[in-house]
Amino acid sequence: MSRTDQWKLLGVILVTLVAAYYLYPSYRYYTSTPAQREAMKPDDLAKLRKQAIHLGLDLQGGLQLLLEVDKSRLNAAEAKDATERAMEIIRNRIDQFGVAEPLVQREGQDRIAIQLPGLTDRQRAIELIGKTALLEFKLVRTNDETSAAYTRLDSWFANRPGGTATDTLLANHPITGRMLDQGFFPKNEVPTVMKLLASAPLDSILPPDTQVLWSDADEASGGITGRFLYVLKKTPEMSGGSVASAEARPGLDQTNPAAWGVSMKMTPRGRADFARVTGANVGRQLAIVLDGIVQSAPVIRDRIPSGDASITGGSIDLNAAKDLAIVLRAGALPAPVRILDERTVGPSLGSDSIHDGVKAGIIGTLMVVAFMMVYYQLSGVIAVVAMLLNTVYIIACLGGFGATLTLPGIAGLVLTIGMAVDTNVLIFERIREELRSGRNIRQSVEMGYDRAFRTVFDAHSTTIISGLFLFQFGTGPIKGFAVTLIIGLLANLFTAVLFTRMIYDFWLSRGRVERLSI
Amino acid sequence: MLQILHGTNISFMKYRRLAYFFSSALVLVTVVWFFTKGPTYSVDFTGGTLLQVRTTPAATADAVRNALDASGYKGAEIQQMTGDAKNEFLIRIPSDTTDAQVMASRLIDAVGTHLGATKVEQRKVESVGPKVGGELRQKAIWAVLASLGSILLYVGWRYEFKFAVGGVAALLHDVLVTLGVLMFTGREVSLTVVAALLTIAGYSINDTIVVFDRIRERGKALRKEKHSRMMDIAVNETLSRTIITAFTVFLSALALFVWGGEVLNDFSFAMLVGVVFGTYSSVYVASALALDIWISLDRRKGVQAE
């Protein structure tokens, strides 16, 4: 064995060892049974999971969201770090919700990308993350003020051109005509009234510092289900910033003790404010407003010095109460967020995908292996070993770089296997040509490698170019595909040019070879 | 030594006009179809919501449609999956509503409640706002064009201009024809399909380069030959490699197509089509076009090439 060959051998062994080192955590993690994982120390397990190849959401199931922070209502100073603050709060909420390895990343100016692996209850997660959770305590206007506000609304809608009501009551009193009680609308009228209100410039119709807000969910009043429309003082007495802690609990609603709700404790400052507000407004209703919806509007019976408040409501069940407590603790988002893009993969589809992907990979590899061995015989075996090494290197790189394996990534791996043999095919065909032209075996191998190299290099470069653009363009899974493809092509250059060449040199250096099995 | 296609001497270039006709017809049909009917885009590009649900025991498409109608979602498009996944349905909702996300959940509930005892499991939800859909569409077009441009530059730098033009034409041809076949078979153009198209672009040029490289190498020895003869020799000499590589890549793509599962189905189908056309085009589009450019360039220089 010549000097250079010894170096090459050393190189290949070294690279393979490094690859094995990076592969080992993945091997241990993905072959361990749940019981074995249970037995490990949590820190060790977390470390192992970190070092193992990450599976994309499309493989392990989970939720991926792209949010946009709506800064349209913020002033310049507020808008400046709104995205950062929103991210912080969302991260906080997710942590409290309990998801293993969530990913919250900023994307561009005002977007936030979120990945929640393994999550199954998407609706709950979306509500938890997307809720602005702006909590406000607002005074309900007095009965007289409320009636006056309704009158103004009635007259504005009644005088608006294009009224279609044939009923005189509804024509003259479009709002109160639909109302049963003070502010209570039966279920069937609610959508109509909502639509009416949404179409009007309420700020200019209503008296100053006044707004109307709906109650949370349908409730029964006098045997009829419907919703309340509250007339409120627009300036809040207090906001969610005064809340120190929040906790989900049953028994907060005296009329319905089994119902869940959220009990809040206030900060010392909040306690003082709350005592002052309640003390000054005994006998009036104080509405607890969350994101523009009135959760409840209890009558203040007495000054409340303890600073205890609670949120209850018809639509709050155990999970909703827990989530509400989380968002109240984590604080309100500085601005509303909108979901631009959502991708959820159920766990069953994820495991099906892994199963199918691996199966296709194995069958594809076997077919290629069989073909190469039949067609190129012993040389084919060399190519196959190179291809397998190649696969090991790719997976090790993915593990080492902390890249994510996605389903398109598996496809990339399978395709790379098909293309990996291409390099060897090019070289083998070249060697065969040289043999045919009458050169001896050693020369043919040498020439074959030398001449094929340039072709292989150019062919790889162009494919890598399109891989790079793919990476640039791709989102999530596609990026995974591009990464696998690019790493695969590089690994391929290494194995084909260094490894197989070395094997040939070794083979040919062992005395006279009469016939090259190719 | 087991050999196929060794020592062939096929006059590929003689038939290039026929191939031009065939290829232009394919490309033309694709382009016309693209601009008139247009491909079916997935929610990635159109925006909207795609739901995949599994029903146990299997419901019928009519039952699912009735369940949706009964819940007031009349605009939804329902598609029953085939093969082993007959109990699964794809439900598509256009993106005219702002809270498509919330709607997806309500839809699942709706199907669940109206199907009675049938269990409805959510397999996949993809919901893309119209804004992101538009962005993704632009990004996809940009990525394809930019990678074409860079390949043109690379091949132009490493080889000659005439080869670069031939190579990129072949690449465009492959991408377009594959797109055409996808449209013809009614498959959706999604992000993954665009990824497949870009991979095909890479593969196509890879194949073409092998032929060009041979011409570059043999150019001197063959300079007495006619250009078309040179091209034929180069194609014939690399033919076995072209076929074998196409075959192994085809095998890999086939494995993905048959066993790779529903998610990769469109991707691997596109790859299968692309490999076949990529192989054809490296001979009949790339090489043939390079030859004709070569001939006309020489003619302009006053050299009698053919």
State what percent of residues in chain A have pLDDT above 70.
Answer: 97
Distance between CA atoms of residues A17 and A314, nearest Å: 62
Domain span at B258: 12-42+132-301
- Per-residue pLDDT band for A330 (boundaries 50, 70, 90) equals confident
In a domain, B25, yes or no: yes
Q: Which of A57, A319, A455 to mutate to test the interface with B (most CBs of B within 10 A)?
A: A455
Mean of the pLDDT values across residues B29-48?
A: 88
Q: Does A515 fall in a domain?
A: no
- pLDDT for res B73: 67
Number of domains within chain A: 3
Query: Which of A279, A305, A332 is the endpoint of a domain?
Result: A332
Query: Chain B contacts of A468, Cβ < 8 Å?
Result: 147
Q: Identify the domain boundary among B85, B108, B128.
A: B128
| Domain closes at, from B104, B128, B152 | B128
CB contact under 8 A, B132 and A425: no
A59-95 tens-digit pLDDT:
888 888 889 998 888 888 888 888 988 999 999 888 8
B255–A408: do the CB atoms touch at under 8 Å?
no
Report the alpha-carbon distance of residue A258 to residue B217 in Å, rounded: 86
The pLDDT value given to residue A209: 92
Mean pLDDT of all residues in A22-35: 86
Strands A404-405 and A54-55: parallel
* C-alpha distance from B300 to closest chain A C-alpha (Å): 30
Domain finish residue from B95, B128, B161: B128
> Cα dist. B4→A378, A500, A516, B208, B235 in Å?
18, 23, 18, 20, 15
B5: distance to nearest CA of chain A, Å? 11
Angle formed at CA A418 by CA A412 and CA A422, multiple of 5 degrees = 125
A41 within some domain: no
Q: Does residue A19 have a pLDDT over 70? A: yes
pLDDT given for residue A164 in this prediction: 61
Name beta bridge partners: A64: A115, A343
pLDDT category at A314 given cuts 50, 70, 90 is low
> Looking at beta carbons, which residues of chain B come within 8 Å of A353?
261, 263-264
Is there a single domain that holds both residue B102 and residue B147?
Answer: no
* CATH number, domain containing residue B91: 3.30.70.3400
Least confident stretch, A127-141, B12-26, B104-118: B104-118
Same domain, B178 and B101: no
> Are the beta carbons of A341 and B129 separated by less than 8 Å?
yes
List the one residue out of A336, A290, A334, A332 whose CA is nearest residue A309. A290
* A292 or B202, which is more confident: A292
User: Do both B239 and B96 map to the same domain?
Assistant: no
A360:B255 CB<8 A: yes
Contacts of B171 in chain A (CB under 8 A): none
Percent of chain A with pLDDT over 90: 12
Q: Which of A332, A364, A379 marks a domain boundary?
A: A332
Please report which confidence band the pLDDT of residue B98 belongs to, taking 50, 70 and 90 as the band edges: very low
Question: A172 lies in which domain range?
Answer: 136-332
Lowest mean pLDDT among A125-139, A265-279, B71-85, B239-253: B71-85
Say which residue the tokens 């060449």 belong to.
Answer: A501
Asked if residue A47 is part of any domain, the answer here is no
Q: Is residue A45 part of a domain?
A: no
From CA A61, how far away is CA B142, in angstroms rounded? 30
In tens, the pLDDT along A128-137 reads 888 888 889 9
pLDDT value at B273 more than 80: yes
Count Cβ atoms below 10 Å from residue A72 Cβ, excluding itself: 8
Closest partner residue to B260 (CB to CB) among A356, A455, A518 is A356
What percent of chain B is predicted at pLDDT more than 70? 89
Classify residue B306: in a domain, yes or no: no
Average pLDDT of A375-385? 89
What average pLDDT does the segment A161-189 reach?
78
**What is the spatial distance between Cα B219 and Cα B196, in angstroms, rounded to a whole number?**
34
Q: Which two tokens stand for residue A175?
A: 């709002």
Find the distance separating the first CA and the last CA of chain A, reported in whole Å.
22
Cα separation, A494 vs A481, whole angstroms: 20
> Does A304 lie in the same domain as A203?
yes
Residue A42 lies in a domain: no
- A141 neighbors A232 (Cβ within 8 angstroms): yes
Confidence of residue A111 (pLDDT cuts 50, 70, 90): very high
Average pLDDT over residues A403-426: 82
Q: Give me the amino acid identity at B25.
A: A
Amino acid letter for position B143: A
Assess whether B272 and B165 both reside in one domain.
yes
Domain boundary pick from A305, A332, A359: A332
Q: How sure is the predictor about B1, in pLDDT bands with cuts at 50, 70 and 90? A: low
Cis status, amide bond into B57, omega within 30 of 0: yes
Please check the confidence at residue A276 and state whether its pLDDT lies above 60. Answer: yes
> Which of A414, A426, A477 minimises the CB distance to B256?
A414
Whether residue A142 sits in one domain with residue A126: no
Per-residue pLDDT at A370: 93
Q: Which residue in B123, B238, B259 is closest to A359 by CB distance?
A: B259
**Among residues A420, A399, A440, which one has the least CA distance to residue A492?**
A420
Q: What CATH number is associated with residue B265?
A: 1.20.1640.10
A517 in a domain, yes or no? no
Here the ipTM equals 0.85
The answer on B94 and B19 residing in a single domain is no
| pTM as predicted | 0.80
Contact (CB<8Å) B264/A470: no
In this predicted structure, what is the pLDDT of residue B95?
63
